């Protein structure tokens, strides 16, 4: 069973100033329709880590994600587009 709400700690500075390193994000893991501008938590396609990124564009089932702090972000510019199945959920609250 998938829990509808999860909390993740942000381990990088790629989303600063919107989401600072060390902050926690409350994530809605229930189905939602991903949209450009959503802040999402996703599975890192290159490791077992999770990432917090912003959806930049959507092309069918492929999603381009990018960090707000582009100078410090490893994102779709590095690993390419991700699939919807890679999204864990939408960040609803930063604490």
Average pLDDT of the chain is 94
Number of domains in the chain: 1
Count of positions (residues) in the chain: 95
Distance, in Å, from the CA atom of 95 to the CA atom of 86, rounded to the nearest integer, reads 24
Confidence label for 31 from pLDDT (cuts 50, 70 and 90): confident
- Residue whose structure tokens are 């989303």: 15
Domain with 40 in it: 5-94
Confidence label for 2 from pLDDT (cuts 50, 70 and 90): low
Q: Answer yes or no: is pLDDT of 8 > 60.
A: yes
**Residue 59 CA to chain centroid, in angstroms?**
17
Whether the CB-CB separation of 79 and 66 falls below 8 Å is answered with no
Residue 32 belongs to a domain with what CATH number?
A: 2.10.109.10
Averaged pLDDT, 82-94: 95
pLDDT of residue 32: 82
């Amino acid at each position: 069973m998938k829990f509808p709400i999860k909390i993740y700690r942000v381990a990088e500075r790629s989303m600063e100033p919107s989401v600072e390193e060390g902050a926690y994000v409350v994530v809605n893991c229930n189905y939602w329709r991903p949209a450009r501008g959503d802040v999402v938590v996703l599975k890192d396609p290159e490791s077992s880590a999770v990432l917090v990124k912003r959806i930049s564009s959507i092309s069918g089932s492929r999603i381009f994600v990018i960090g707000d702090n582009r100078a410090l972000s490893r994102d779709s510019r590095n690993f390419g587009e991700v699939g919807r199945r890679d999204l864990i959920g939408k960040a609803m609250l930063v604490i």
